């Protein structure tokens, strides 16, 4: 029995990446009470962030207008990021995204230099590069200008229900899961570090449980 257990432990250590075994304590980027640790950026001057971003009953709500984004005050590299989102009941399907490795402002209009992980209805998981570069498998069929299409559009839940996205950034790689399904992955990313941002892009959207877990060496 002891020998069997030892073999099982050895197999587990070999079967999973070392960084997965060395994860550190998770950090809640959104505290469920206010926007502490975040800064709002808009494509217009003099905008009151409270008109776009608000916290109600533990949820982070975005009206989608005006266009802009909410950015963490800290920068991060090598992490697992978990984000839950939904389109409010009765809302039309909308457009939005999570920006990872956010840095230089206004690299493309209001959008900062970053890699966008798409949340747009029926396209969650697409990559859009904003002043950045990356590679995906089968680029001949999946790359359209700045867009790198995901592997499947069947992982999202209906409007009004919560979805969960997991984004793993490790070195120059990114892997994305939606509701447990692997939907996209990239290598040779030209950026490896930066803030994390949530877009306001025209439609109401709600977030909760935004949690970042650093990866060990």
- The reported pLDDT for the residue numbered 153 is 81
Sketch the domain layout of the chain as residue ranges.
Answer: 24-214
The per-residue b/e assignment along 103-142, b for 16 or more CB within 10 angstroms, e otherwise, is beeebeebbbbbbbbbbbbebbbbbbbbbbebebeeeeeb
Q: CA distances (Å), 117 to each of 30, 35, 86, 147, 184, in order?
A: 18, 22, 15, 10, 9
Check: CB of residue 206 under 8 Å from CB of residue 62.
yes
* Class for the domain spanning 24-214: mainly beta
Phi and psi at 7, nearest 5°, equal: -65, -40
What pTM did the predictor assign? 0.88
2 versus 18: the higher-pLDDT residue is 18
Q: What is the pLDDT of residue 94?
A: 83
- What are the φ and ψ backbone dihedral angles of 148, each rounded to 5 degrees? -125, 105
Query: pLDDT digits over 139-185, tens only?
Result: 999 999 999 999 888 899 999 999 999 999 999 999 999 999 999 99
Would you state the pLDDT for residue 16?
Answer: 36
| Mean pLDDT estimate for the chain | 89
Tell me, what's the pLDDT at 14? Answer: 36
């Amino acid at each position: 029995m002891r020998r069997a257990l030892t073999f099982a432990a050895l197999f587990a250590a070999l079967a999973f990446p070392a960084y997965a075994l060395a994860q550190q304590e998770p950090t809640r980027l959104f505290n469920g009470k206010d926007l502490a640790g975040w800064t709002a950026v808009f494509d217009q001057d003099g905008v009151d962030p409270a008109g776009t971003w608000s916290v109600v009953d533990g949820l982070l709500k975005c009206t989608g207008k005006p266009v802009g984004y909410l950015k963490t005050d800290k920068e991060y590299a090598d992490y697992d990021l978990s984000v839950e989102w939904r389109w409010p009941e009765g809302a039309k399907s909308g457009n939005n995204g999570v920006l990872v490795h956010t840095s230089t402002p206004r690299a493309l209009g209001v959008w900062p230099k970053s890699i966008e992980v798409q949340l747009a209805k029926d396209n969650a998981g697409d990559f859009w590069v904003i002043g950045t570069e990356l590679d995906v498998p089968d680029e001949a069929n999946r790359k359209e200008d700045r867009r790198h299409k995901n592997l499947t559009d069947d992982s999202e839940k209906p409007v009004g229900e919560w979805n969960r996205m997991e984004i793993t950034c490790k070195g120059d790689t990114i892997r994305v899961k939606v509701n447990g399904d692997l939907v996209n992955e990239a290598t040779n990313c030209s950026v490896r570090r930066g803030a994390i941002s949530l877009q306001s892009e025209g439609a109401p959207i709600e977030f909760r449980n935004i949690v970042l877990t650093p990866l060990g060496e």
